[in-house]
A and B are shown apart, each in its own frame.
Chain A
Amino acid sequence: ALSQTLQFQEYVFLQFLGLDKVPSPQKFQPVPYILKKIFQDREAAAITGGSQDLCSVKDLGVRGNVLRLLPDQGFYLYSKNLSQASSCLQKLLYFNLPAIKDKEQLTMAQLGLDLGPNTYYNLGPELELALFLVQEPRVGHSIPKPGKLFVLKSVPWPQGVLHFNLLDVAKDWNNNPQKNLGLFLEILVKGDRDSGVNFQLEDTCARLRHSLHASLLVVTLNSEQCHPSSRKRR
């Protein structure tokens, strides 16, 4: 009976913390530098007794009191003729947004694409990264049809860590979950592929597929815990 009471009390408290049940993560996710930094800054401020505005994230320049890093749940797409086509890498990115509660207002959604440390040095052939919004459901692991994609960004010579502002897209997904069909990421080879660079190209593409890491950093503002910022008077 005591155990049941404790479990019930724990459940009630976890609900207060915004959780439905005790989380049991399947695998540990890496904590990005920005979350670590914000956490450490808050801890330092708490020790020194400095005043803290818990409803704004100074490091990101936005209002918000909950920061979530959503892991990519998508998968790689393989074209049968990838070695001959101009595509180096194709991936569907998918982020599970329903974790955002109704009372929360989205203030930031930033896609982070980490292409890995190797891309800082030897990129090999000239590459271009293209990011599309998937607008129509696909069948299985099929590659989205070009007409059903909306171009979001194009980055020549992609390297290191890239960030994309997806606030409008995330707001749309949050309001219409059925629209959340993911993003299509493609890294293309610019120009003609000749036989001389083919070996190097395959190596670069394989490294990119191995090291690519995508995540969506979402900041929300809970209206019950934070009041909206008042507009400045003229």
Chain B
Amino acid sequence: SAIPANKASCKNLCHRHQLFINFRDLGWQKWIIAPKGFMANYCHGECPFSLTTSLNSSNYAFMQALMHAVDPETPQAVCIPTKLSPISMLYQDNDDNVILRHYEDMVVDECGC
């Protein structure tokens, strides 16, 4: 069963963080008509063995964390996106065509180990 972590370590646990992608920062505003940017988010944090069952973890992460516990040379399970969603982009290409296209896996909705 999961061992409750203290408040300080909770901050370091695997979870979703906000990341806004501003196309102006990338110099892409010249060709992307819309959106101007989007909240892409990212995953970051630790996946300790004691919490692998409660951090939206895969069975694989549990096994990896278990192995890390007995053999520290095995790396810890990592915090990764477990649910992603698409965005639509409206842009102009080099032939002056206006294109509306949907791109999969652009926004992190959920993270897990």
Contacts and interface: CB of A to CB of B under 8 A. Distances in A.
Interface of A: 17-29, 31-32, 35-36, 38-39, 42-43, 46, 52, 54, 65-71, 96, 99, 225
B95 interface: yes
Interface string B69-111: 0000000000000000111101111111111111110010000
A99 B88 contact: no
B103 A39 contact: no
Nearest to B92: A25
Contacts of B85: 46
Contact of A31 (B86, B90, B96): B90
Contact of B100 (A23, A39, A96): A39
A19 B93 CA distance: 8
A6 to B, nearest CB: 10
22 contacts: A22-B31, A23-B30, A23-B31, A23-B92, A24-B30, A25-B93, A27-B96, A28-B92, A29-B97, A31-B34, A35-B98, A38-B100, A39-B88, A39-B90, A46-B107, A54-B102, A54-B104, A65-B102, A66-B99, A66-B101, A69-B99, A70-B95
Interface of B: 27-28, 30-31, 33-35, 85-88, 90-104, 107
A35 B95 contact: no
Given A46-B85, A52-B86, A21 B101 contact: no
User: What DSSP secondary structure best describes chain B's contact surface?
Assistant: strand
B91 to A, nearest CB: 7
Considering the complex of A and B, which 9 residue pairs feature the smallest CB-CB distances, nearest first? A23-B31, A69-B98, A67-B100, A25-B92, A42-B88, A54-B102, A23-B93, A35-B100, A23-B94
Nearest to A52: B86
A106 to B, nearest CB: 14
Contacts of A17: 101, 103
A17 to B, nearest CB: 7
Contact of A70 (B28, B30, B97): B97
Nearest to A69: B98
Contacts of A69: 97-99
Contacts of A66: 99-101
Given A43-B35, A46-B85, A25 B102 contact: no
Residue of A27, A32, A99 with most chain B CB atoms under a 10 A cut-off: A99
A46 B31 contact: no
Nearest to B109: A49
B96 A71 contact: yes
A54 B86 CA distance: 9
Given A29-B97, A35-B98, A69-B99, 20 more contacts: A17-B103, A19-B93, A22-B28, A23-B30, A23-B91, A24-B94, A27-B96, A28-B92, A29-B98, A32-B98, A35-B90, A38-B88, A39-B90, A42-B102, A46-B87, A52-B86, A65-B101, A70-B97, A99-B93, A99-B95
